[in-house]
């Protein structure tokens, strides 16, 4: 199983930045399964540092949503950055992202969430989101701001929780407008 935050980002970081990135992510979300960070996805040195850091106990508030909802939003952020050409490779070849050029707005993220959810879950999107405790786009905003509060994401001065309110209706976005792609089915 692949590391949900990897997608090549961790492997592009130098050794000290790997430790900083992973320690911030794991401390911010202790509920996330640390076994997913294995030698294949993070590198052996990174895994050894992670194991040492995971013994540090820091008080963190409980997650408001299912842990998979947080993983999905993180994955949707990476998906949206790639789709919009705002990944580390696209913005610059260095490790540090320029905040303004790599920034994803609330509505942009929600478009990526919609596309990724349909791609990953199809017609089961609404039941999966409900199982995670997500009932509207507002909940995605709360997850993003939970990430920000825990130090796993950053925001600009323009970002507000209200950017996520009532952007689209789940029934309309995931059910009524769902189309099954049959183009590959009848190809010769």
Q: What is the pLDDT of residue 21?
A: 54
User: 75 pLDDT band (50/70/90 cuts)?
Assistant: very high
pLDDT tens sequence across 106-122: 999 999 999 999 999 99
Q: What is the mean pLDDT of the chain?
A: 75
Is residue 127 exposed (0-12), middle (13-18) or buried (19+ Cβ within 10 Å)?
exposed
Q: What is the pLDDT of residue 40?
A: 46
pLDDT tens sequence across 174-186: 988 777 778 778 7
pLDDT tens sequence across 133-172: 999 999 999 999 999 998 888 889 999 999 999 999 999 9
Q: What is the pLDDT of residue 185?
A: 81
User: 74 pLDDT band (50/70/90 cuts)?
Assistant: very high
Dist. CA 124–CA 174, nearest whole Å: 9
159 phi-psi bin (left φ>0, alpha ψ -120 to 50, beta other):
beta
Q: What is the pLDDT of residue 59?
A: 60
3-state SS, one letter per residue, for 144-160: HHHHHHCCCCCCCCCCC
User: 28 pLDDT band (50/70/90 cuts)?
Assistant: low
Measuring CA to CA, which residue among 121, 116, 84, 130 is closest to residue 103? 84
Tell which wins on pLDDT, 125 or 12: 125
* High-pLDDT (> 90) share of the chain, %: 43
């Amino acid at each position: 199983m692949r590391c949900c935050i990897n997608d090549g980002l961790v492997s592009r970081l130098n050794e000290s930045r790997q430790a900083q990135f992973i320690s911030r992510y794991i401390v911010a979300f202790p509920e996330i399964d640390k076994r997913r960070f294995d030698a294949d996805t993070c590198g052996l040195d990174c895994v050894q540092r992670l194991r040492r850091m995971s013994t540090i106990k820091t008080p963190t508030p409980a997650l408001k949503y299912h842990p998979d909802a947080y993983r999905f939003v993180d994955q949707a952020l990476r998906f949206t950055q790639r789709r919009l050409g705002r990944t580390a490779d696209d913005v610059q070849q260095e490790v540090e992202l320029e905040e303004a050029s790599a920034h994803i707005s609330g509505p942009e993220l929600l478009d990526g969430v919609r596309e990724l959810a349909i791609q990953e879950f199809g017609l089961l999107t609404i039941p999966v989101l409900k199982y995670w405790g997500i009932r509207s786009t507002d909940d995605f905003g709360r997850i993003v701001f939970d990430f920000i509060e825990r130090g796993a994401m950053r925001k600009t001065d323009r970002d507000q929780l209200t950017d996520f309110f009532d952007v689209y209706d789940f029934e309309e976005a995931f059910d009524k407008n769902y189309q099954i792609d049959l183009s590959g089915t009848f190809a010769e």
